[in-house]
Structure formats: structure tokens, C-alpha cells
Chains A and B, each alone.
Chain A
Amino acid sequence: MAKTPHREWAMIIDLDKCTGCGACVVACHAENNVPIQTEQEIARGRGIHWIHIERYWEGAFPRVKANFLPLLCQQCERAPCEPVCPVYASVRSDRENLNLQVYNRCVGTRYCQNNDPYKVRFFNWFEPVFDEPLNQQLNPDVTVRSAGVMEKCTFCVQRIRRAEERALAENRALRDGEVIPACVQTCPPSALVFGDLADPNSAVAKLAGDRRKFKLLEHLGTEPAIVYLKGGESNVRA
């Protein structure tokens, strides 16, 4: 097998463009077999949404502002969730800058979630339920996680693999924009952009230099692979 080049998968989230519409949330549920929790479970704080929109308030009425923050696994270069896992279920792939979660290795210590400053890891408290025939929709590329297992955003690693295999079969390099996670694919205003940061000509590499960039909880030194772009300002004549 040919040697796969080093990659730095990264995502740019332009907060100026994110409308909080929730398309990414549902797309992720569809792509990754993320189970929907019941009303009681959500009320108890057990909702599972690998990507979700956090809405923060700023200011007070009437000058109030709501800020949407799409939050998903930050795929940190120095992920705090990794070293604490005693069984290497949360493990790093340096080759592609991904933070992998090995579901069948997870024993459910839930330490990774405690040590995850972004709180984007979700635990399966019960066996997930997909009423028949809704289970026919389940994506065969993605494991359905059983009870007692931690799960999280994978940057749609199954799509990365499929694209890599296709490129390999066609004996060519992966093109920028060829790998698109479900959330990025669907985002109507294209607030989410995905690509390989190691490729200087990729869309993400260009956007990552934007002056509006920041990383979430940067002071923790986790070095996330997700770069946020702050909301912009318009000049208007009045």
C-alpha cells in the first residue's frame, strides 16, 4: 500500500456566517447514526449531538445579542481526553491530525469526558433505540455504539477513508474539497469549511490566516484543529 501523506485535517467555522439553523446537527445524526434521545433523557442532560449550536447571550435587552457557537470535537493536537483513557479508546492519529475514538475498545470510564474542556463527548447511557424500520437508514460505514460507550465527532472519518481509497484507486492525490464531513456538506451559508491544513493551497489554509481567527479555550493549550472566525463588522453610511 502506498504511503499516505501527512495530513492535518482542520475545520474553519465562520461565526459570522453561522445562522444557527441546525442543519449540521441533523446531518450529523443522519451520517453518524447518532441516536435521538427522549424528552426525559434530554431534560436530564443526556442529549447526544456530536455537533450542536451553543447559543450565548451578550448584553441586556434591548441591546441584547445572541451568539451562535457551533461546537463539535475540536480534534486537538494536544487533546486532554487522550492521555486519561486507560485503554487507548481515545487515541490520537498524528498522521492525519485526528482524535480517534475506538468504540469497541471503550470500557466507559468516562474520564475523557471529564477532561474534555469542550464537553463534546457523549456517553451512551442506554442501548440506543432505532424503532423499526428507522434502523434501515443506519449508515453501514459507522458503528452503532452500544450502551456504556463514549462517542464523539470523528470529522466523518468514514468519508475521509472512502475518499482516500478512491484517490488511491485512481492513483492520484486527494483534491481539496474532496473530503467533506456531513455538517460541512449541508451548511447552507458555508459557515463550515473543511480541508487539509498541510496543503497550503487548500481553502482552510487560506482561511486559517484570517485576522478574525481564534481558537476556543486557547488558554488551555489544547491546540484544536478547529479555527473559529469571529463575527465581523460592517461599515454603513448613515
Chain B
Amino acid sequence: MSERKTDQAFWRRPAIADETEAHQIEDVRQQHLLLDPRYPLDSDRDVLDPMYRSSKRYWFFFALFAGLVLMMFTTWTVQMWLGLGITGLKRPTMWALYIVNFVYFIGIGHAGTFISAALRVLKVEWRRPISRAAELVTVFGLMTAALFPLIHLGRTWKFYWLIPYPNERQLWPSFHSPLLWDLTAITTYLSCSILFAYISLLPDLAMARDHTSGWRHILYSVLALGWRGTEREWSNHETALNIFSYAIIPVMFSVHTIVSWDFAMAIQPGWHSTIFGPYFVVGALFSGAGAVIIALTIIRKAMRLQYFLRTEHLEGMAKLMLLLSFAWDYFYFNDVLVPWYGQAPVEKSLFALFASGRVAPLFYLMIFANAIVPVTLVFKRVRTSIVGLFIVSLFIQIGMYIERFLIVPVGLGQNEIPFAWGVYVPYLPESLISIGAFGLVIFLFFLISRFFPLIPSWEVYEGQVLQGLRRIGRAILPTRAEPD
């Protein structure tokens, strides 16, 4: 950070004219993080402190989620040893919970990019403190999601045959297969996301380096790539992030579109739909936004980051979520209306199954969770209530998980050959692995929270520097300066 004149330092509070104005200013400061600057070292301390101090409670949960991860990998090993038969998979529900998890976690992985890249491009200021958490949700979501195609494979140990590696028999994977598009899209997206998160982490790593000693110092020194905070570095950093932001957005849209093509390219009734691309993207953003809110509320509470993560951020996310909920409603309506109008027998039977069949409770729960519960977000009281938001987000996760469940195994269960229909019920192994996958995402958060700052403090400073309060007449107004 460049030297500034202390009397003009951004954390200095402006002189206050009278008590009304003091209240006004206090009010604005409470609401807006960027208008509530403080001495950077205080912020840095708040960001770094939780990394060193791990409470007993932390270790308890750490052990719990580590246990879940262990359970997941043990079950996977057992599954590889005995065969996929130990799961509830069958003919015709060849894809089931593993693919549901895959789609779900990929979906989760969309929020991060959207929030940090898209909102960055759109210059939405409230994204600043939450972008790191969102990026990590992306990275961990994708990493977990990428495990599932492997878990799902009949012969996991041959997974590398999907990779176009040079070999003496000149066997290449088939680029006709949506699975290969998937593989390409996900690896691209994952590497982009990791790079994007890493670049935005650089100034914070340098900050951490400057505040630490011992092995951490060495670690951060290495990772910070010699960041000194020169103007040139900042300028390059800004450029890099901008380029990445623009580049990663199409990748993000393509990834879930391609995931949706796994289904839409198939001739399976209920899957074969042209709307699946945008529909899946919206669904992914929807569940991703919810996941970010859940992550934020937990981080805020557990790591005492109330200063950084304020109602305004959650409210911003809530508004986004409300918008996405409406978008989801629209796409779902379309996805139902068109086949219903077509009255193809299999699709008709699927609707009957949803409306009044075996899975009707799931279907109505999904509609309730995805379309009705988020409507409460029109009320400011819900938007600004952390508990309320947490509950709404949780409902959205459940709803979106069910949506994928209804598409994958339930959709497969009814096909053109009624003789070969089937009912899928998750058995213990895939249930354990699915629970373990949630555990894995949380475990990775637990792990990373001890190594890297979860709040991008440089972004917050930047915002705080750029923004200020001005008095114009009787009114106190926030102002914003454009960086060169």
C-alpha cells in the first residue's frame, strides 16, 4: 500500500457539525461498510486473527467434518472394491445421486464467479467483502463436483481414458460425447477459478506475509510472489482481474450449459429439452447464491467478521436471489409447459408422477422451496434478518437438490419402454458419500480459514478509499471516486 498523508487518510472520520448529522453519519456508516472505514491494521487484525486462534469448538467441528470426509473416501474405496452394486443404482436409473451431487456442486460453483467477476464487471460495490468467500465456494464446489464423475464411474481406475493423452494405440476420447465437453469445461472452469481466486488473493497474501513470522511467513512469502504493492503491481493486478473477470463469465455460462447438455443431448424424455442450457445456468446461480449466503452467515458468526459482513451485503445477495428465483420460476414453467402441451406419453406419465405420484411430496417441496419461500425476500425484514436469510437459503439448497433429483433418477425412471421403468432409492453407500461431499466442502472451508484470509481486505480498502461521505446542503451523501 502506498504511503498516504495521515491527515487525509481514508480512515479518518470527518468533522461533525451537529448531533443530527452525527446520527446521520453514524447511521450511514453502520449500514455501509465502505463508508465506515477504519484503521487498516485493525481490519488486518480482524481478518488474520481467526487464522491463528482455533477454539475448541473449531477443532470439534473440524474433527466432525474431517470424519465425514474420511467416511466419504472409505465408502468410495469399499464401493470400488465390491462394485457399484452396493448402491441403489439399477436399470434404468443408471445415473442417480452421484450425478445429482455433481450437478448440484457445479451449480454451487457458479455463485463465486458471478459475484466476484460479474458484479466486478458491473461495478457493484457491495460485493467487495464477500467476493473471497464466493470464490472459495466456487473452487470447493467445483473440486467436490469433479470427484463425482469419478465416484460414479464403473471402473474409476480407468478414468484417464477420458483424457486425450497421447498413447501408442492412438486411442482418443470421443469428442462427440457431452461427457467429454463436460470434462473440458470443468477443467477449464476449475483452473480459471483457482487462478482468479489466487490473483485476487495476492495482495492479501502479501499483507499476511507482512504480519506473520515463522512457517507462515515463509509460506506467504512464497505464495505472494514478491508482491510489494507498487503502483505498477496494482495496475497490473487490476488489469489481470479485469481480463479474468471478462473471460471467466462466458466460461461460467458455458459450464453449466454443458452440464445441462449431458441431459439435453440425450433422447430421454424429460431430458431432451432445448431450454435446459439457460435453465440450468439460472438454477446454478440460484443455488450458488444461496450457498454463498449460508457460507457468509456462518463465517461471519464463527470468525467474528461482523465488521466486514454486514446486512447490506446479505441484503444485496438476497435481492439477487429473489431475482434468480423469479428467473427459475420462469424457466421451470417453460420446461413444464412445452412438454405438457406436447402430451407425449412418457412426459405425461412423468407429470402425473410429479403431480400425484410417488414423488409428489418431493415435487411440492421443491416448488415450495424454490418458488414460494424466496418470495418472502420481497420483505425488507426478511432480507435484513440473518436468520431469515439463512433459512431461505437453506430451503433453496433443498429445493435445488430435489430439482436435480427429480431430473436425474426420477426422470430416468420413466422412459419409452414401460417394461424397463424403475424406482430409484438411494442406498447407504451413496447417501454416505453425498453427506460426505457436503462435509468435504465445509471441511475445505475449515481448512482454508486457517491459511488464507476469507475477507479480501485489499478490496475493502480500495472501496473505502474510493468512497466517502459528502455533505450537500443538509444531506449527507456517499460519493465515489473512479480510479484512473
Contacts and interface: CB of A to CB of B under 8 A. Distances in A.
Direct contact of A and B (CB under 8 A): yes
Interface in A77-115: 80, 82-88, 105-111, 113-115
B94 A83 contact: no
Interface stretch (A38-46, A181-189, A223-231): A38-46
Interface residues of B, number: 42
B173 A86 contact: yes
B153 A107 contact: yes
Contacts of B475: none
Interface residues of A, number: 43
Interface stretch (B317-325, B415-423, B438-446): B415-423
A148 B82 CA distance: 10
A161 B161 CA distance: 28
Q: Is the interface of A mostly helix, strand, loop or mixed?
A: loop
A177 to B, nearest CB: 30
Given A109-B153, A125-B83, A115 B267 contact: yes
Nearest to B183: A86
B161 A87 contact: yes
B478 interface: no
A46 B176 contact: no
Interface string B418-435: 111010000000000000
Contacts of A106: 154-155
Interface in A35-91: 41, 44-47, 54-56, 71, 80, 82-88
A113 B84 contact: no
A118 B417 contact: yes
B162 A87 contact: yes
B16 interface: no
Which of A84, A113, A118 has the most chain B CB within a 10 Å cutoff?
A: A84
Given A107-B158, A124-B154, A46 B83 contact: no
A87 B174 contact: yes
A219 to B, nearest CB: 9
A108 B266 contact: no
Contacts of A41: 85
Q: Could you tell me the dominant secondary structure of chain B's interface residues?
A: loop
A220 B152 CA distance: 28
A147 interface: yes
A107 B162 contact: yes
Contacts of B417: 54, 71, 117-119
A90 B49 CA distance: 56
Contact of A114 (B83, B153, B173, B268): B268
Contacts of B84: 108, 123, 125, 147-148
B159 interface: yes
B362 interface: no
Given A111-B178, A111-B266, A125-B90, 14 more contacts: A44-B90, A80-B266, A83-B176, A107-B153, A107-B162, A108-B84, A108-B154, A110-B94, A110-B152, A111-B94, A123-B84, A126-B85, A147-B83, A148-B153
27 contacts: A44-B90, A45-B422, A47-B91, A55-B419, A83-B176, A84-B177, A84-B179, A85-B174, A86-B162, A86-B174, A87-B162, A87-B173, A88-B174, A106-B154, A107-B154, A108-B155, A109-B149, A109-B153, A109-B179, A114-B94, A114-B95, A114-B268, A117-B268, A117-B416, A124-B154, A148-B155, A149-B154
